[in-house]
Amino acid sequence: MRAASWEELSRIYSDTLADCDPLLHTKRVLAEANIRRRIDYKVDIVSIGKAARPLGLAAVRTFDVGRSFFAGPRGYLRGNDLPPSAHVALGSHPRLSEASFRCGDDLIDFVTAGTCPIVFLLSGGGSATVERPLEPYFSRKDLLSLDSHIALQSLPIAKLNTVRKHLSSIKGGRLGSIAPEGSLAFVLSDVSAGDLHHVASGPVLPDPTTNREAAEILRSLDSKETSMAAAHLEDNAVPDTPKALPLDSELIADNRTLVESARRMATRIGFDAVVLETAIEMSVSEAADFLYEAATSLAPGEVLIAGGEPTVPSIDRSGRGGRCSELLARFAKLCIENALAPAALFGSSDGMDGNTSAAAFVLKPKALRSKRASIESIHQALAESDSMRLVDALGEAIITGPTENNLRDLFLIAAAE
């Protein structure tokens, strides 16, 4: 049986994104919840994150909605189909900004002004979109400074969000603690399976992490700024995050949804799907090694499918690239060194890889065989956090624009020709 081409991997990727449309998934989950819970009363809705628009629209079309609040990173809340009376707040991503604090203030005002139960709809990207510091212990200036410092570290998302929660008056369940009785949460997850409290840093879900854990993470970063923040958190006067809340939550979809959809799409066009059960939650260097080893055992006609989100340190901000483009470069380096020439695709689900305009990147066997990119050029690009400059030599970029989804990343590798 022949190996899948890079064009066929691109088709599997695009079909998977279409199949995982957040509006359709959310409408189905909300309809089932409506029947099960008999939500026949008026509710307000708060929709936050990269998927704020489709998730919020699904709620508007399911429930009897009074007020509505939509908050997303600038560039994501597109279209003119939001309710005319909706409050729309545009924040930033992936870094905090003054816009994040304006959105946070608006969000707190919205939640405290209402009396109806609130249906919260949460998606990735919400952590930087809405923020308010835990005053008087931390200020806006503190959070901006810490955000700048932490951005240079390759912290796993769980550790990053643990820190964020304990500096915030919104995250870590603190927003849920002021929500009206009877409120509910529905989550489109961009984190590890079972870790819903980390999506958007868990504003309305109980938080199992502690001030002490956050302080330990900050101290491990070994700087004046992080040590001072850690010392504040170790002060017993600083309240910890809520560990229990009378607010139920349900999953809409997560990375497993994306991977399962890709499996169906690969099978539909005639290939044998080999799904990796291990999520890619390691450094991008380790991820390249892991995926390369798995790819070496593929038989003709098989397509390796994996999901997750590797971590990438930000070394040189002048460079262009993200998780997927750097993974492409590191994987290609291993292939060139070992004379392996598979087609591969590494892509985001949200349509944006790092600071590039690309959603995904394909690796072409012909480019590997001809060694259009030398090992030296790959080393140099990686050293400068500029993996994007290698894309034309290794394959090509796929540009979709923001997909309004956020289910982490998808990795597809065909058997080598």
pLDDT of residue 222: 82
Q: Mean pLDDT over residues 127-146, rounded?
A: 96
Question: Can you say how many angstroms the Cα of residue 75 is from the centroid of all Cα atoms in its chain?
Answer: 16
Residue type, 357: S
Average pLDDT over residues 231-254: 95
- Local confidence band at 37 (pLDDT 50, 70, 90 cut-offs): confident
Cis peptide before 94 (omega within 30 of 0): yes
Phi, psi of 298 (to 5 degrees): -70, 140
Average pLDDT of the residues of the chain: 94
Q: Say if residues 50 and 124 touch (Cβ distance below 8 Å).
A: yes
What pLDDT sits at residue 60? 96
What's the N-to-C CA distance of the chain in angstroms? Answer: 11
Sign of CA dihedral 191, 195, 198, 199: positive
pLDDT in tens, 374-402: 999 999 999 988 999 999 999 999 999 98
Residue 417 is predicted with a pLDDT of 77
Helices (H) and strands (E) in the chain, counts: 15, 12
pLDDT of residue 306: 98
Mean local confidence (pLDDT), 229-241:
95
Identify the residue whose tokens are 């001030």: 211
70 DSSP 8-state letter: E
- Residues 228 and 215: their CA atoms lie apart, in Å, by 9
pLDDT for position 315: 55
The residue with greater pLDDT, 222 or 116, is 116
Confidence of residue 108 (pLDDT cuts 50, 70, 90): very high
Share of the chain above pLDDT 70, in %: 99
Q: Whose structure tokens read 């999520």?
A: 279
Instruction: Report the relative pairing of strands 42-48 and 64-73 from DSSP bridges.
Output: parallel
C-alpha 221/C-alpha 141 separation (Å) is 19
The pLDDT value given to residue 317: 58
**pLDDT of the residue at 244:** 96
The structure tokens listed for 385 are 């956090």
The β-bridge partners of 251 are: 187
| Mean pLDDT calculated for residue range 220-234 | 92
- The residue assigned the tokens 């961009």 is 190
Give the integer Cα–Cα distance in Å for 394 and 105. Answer: 46
Q: What is the pLDDT of residues 175-198, one digit of tens each?
A: 999 999 999 999 999 999 889 999
Give the integer Cα–Cα distance in Å for 186 and 181: 16
Pairing assessment for the beta strands 42-48 and 118-123 based on DSSP bridges: parallel
pLDDT at 312 over 80: yes
Q: What is the mean pLDDT of residues 195-217?
A: 96
Paired with 185 in beta bridges are 120, 249
Helix (H, G, I), strand (E, B) or coil at 3: coil
pLDDT value at residue 263: 98
What is the structure's pLDDT at 314?
61
pLDDT per position as a tens digit, 317-369: 578 999 999 999 999 999 999 999 999 999 999 999 999 999 999 999 999 99
Return the pLDDT at 77: 86
Domains and CATH numbers, the chain: 6-17+255-414 (3.40.1480.10), 39-253 (3.40.50.10180)
For 54-88, the pLDDT digits (tens) are 999 999 999 999 999 999 998 888 777 899 999 99
| Antiparallel, parallel or unpaired: β 184-188 and 118-123 | parallel
- List the structure tokens of 82: 């939001």
Structure tokens at 100: 């994040």
Q: Of the candidates 286, 340, 37, which has an alpha carbon nearest to the alpha carbon of residue 184?
A: 37
CB 356, CB 289: distance < 8 Å: no
pLDDT at position 149 is 84
- Is it true that the peptide bond before 365 is cis, omega within 30 degrees of 0? no
CA-CA-CA-CA torsion sign (120, 126, 131, 133)? positive
